[in-house]
Amino acid sequence: MTTIRQLSAARVVILLLLALAAVGHLAACYTLVQHPRVASLNFRRPQGKSCTGCHRAEEISGFLRPEHLAAPPPPWDSLTRPWWIAPDSTGGGG
């Protein structure tokens, strides 16, 4: 029986990368790079439309922030705002 101790360093590295590639592939089910069912919204927001047209600001924040991750105290919380969301609006992206 092969144990992890018998695996060479190179094999372990390759297995780690393959495992994470597989997990990353499956994880796309959670992390969305494409808007479900509305392909026109992928990465490039049409002029005159914003996320807030369909989603509440709290929803958008919740989409992009882990559920139980406590926000850092101000003013450090400004560093956690996604760069593609304008400071004066939560609907700048998407």
Residue 48 vs 68, nearer CB to another protein: 68
Query: Of the candidates 2, 53, 74, 88, which one interacts with another protein according to CB under 8 A?
Result: 74
One-letter amino acid of 3: T
Token code pair at residue 69: 């991750």
The single residue among 10, 39, 40, 46 that binds another protein, judged by CB under 8 A, is 10
Q: Record the tokens describing residue 40, joined without a space.
A: 């026109």
**Using rule CB under 8 A, residue 20 touches another protein:** yes
Closest distance between another protein and the C-beta of residue 92, in Å? 11
- The answer to whether the CB of 12 falls within 8 A of the CB of 2 is no
Token pair recorded at residue 73 = 């105290």
Phi-psi region of 31 (alpha: psi -120 to 50; beta: other; left: phi over 0): beta
Using CB under 8 A as the binding rule, whether residue 75 contacts another protein is answered as yes
Q: Does residue 2 belong to the site contacting another protein (CB under 8 A)?
A: no
CB of 48 to another protein, least distance (A): 19
